[in-house]
Amino acid sequence: MSEIECSGEMKFDMSKSEILLETLTNLLKKTHEYFIDTTTTLMHHDLAHDIPASKVKVTLQNGKYACKQVGRIQRKQESQESTITAEAICATETLDDPSVMLEMMGYKTISSVTKTGSLWITESGTKVFLYSNQQFSFVCIICVCLSSDIDEAFGNIRELFQQISQKVNN
């Protein structure tokens, strides 16, 4: 297993699949943008955001890439911090069930999920987004410690994956 801390311009020096590298790089950058967009969208401009890029972590496990980013959002009025975490993993095979990749990320196997399109919701309420095409799969887990709904944000992530898929297939 190799681990890389990323900050600023995220570049990788690994002799692995170029598709996975490019995809994961785009995902990390989009994840960072997602945090900022989420801050604005969910809290209606009431939050100040500080999401350091240095919190991005990339791990290579069994030939598969995983990434995790943690961001803190500070609520101005109450001076309280809420933590947002986003984790993602991509694999070289296509998966119909995210449980295998979730286990790689340290999560217990999902015993029960509700599937709405490509969005899975675990019993604990954690939302899991699964995207697959003929060449690779993504699992994206986003936990937001706020009461607001984040389905719209998942729509943005789904759009990103579709763009990546088109680029890869072209």
pLDDT value at 9 more than 60: no
The answer to whether 81 touches 70, Cβ cutoff 8 Å, is no
106 in a structural domain = yes
Where do the DSSP E strands lie in 7-160?
47-50, 56-61, 64-75, 80-91, 114-116, 119-121, 127-132, 137-144
Residue 16 is predicted with a pLDDT of 35
Average pLDDT, the chain: 51
Q: Is 128 a residue whose pLDDT tops 60?
A: yes
Q: Judge whether 11 lies within some domain.
A: no
pLDDT of residue 96: 65
DSSP 3-state assignment of 58? strand
> How many structural domains is the chain composed of?
1
Is residue 37 scored above 50 in pLDDT?
no
**What does the pLDDT read at residue 76?**
40
The verdict on pTM exceeding 0.75 is no
Q: Cα–Cα distance between 54 and 10 in angstroms, integer?
A: 10
Domain presence at residue 123: yes
CA 31 to CA 85: how far, in whole Å?
10
pLDDT at 102 over 60: yes
Domain range for 56:
2-6+17-169
Give a yes or no: residue 91 inside a domain: yes
Indicate if the pLDDT at residue 8 is higher than 60: no
Q: Over the stretch 38-52, which tens digit does the pLDDT of each residue have? A: 443 333 222 333 334
pLDDT at 74: 41
Residue 54 has pLDDT above 50, yes or no: no
Return the pLDDT at 29: 53
Residue 42 lies in a domain: yes
| Residue 12 lies inside a defined structural domain of this protein | no
- For residue 30, being part of any structural domain is answered with yes
Buried-exposed string 51-67: b where 16+ CB fall within 10 A, e elsewhere = bebebbbbbbeeebbbb
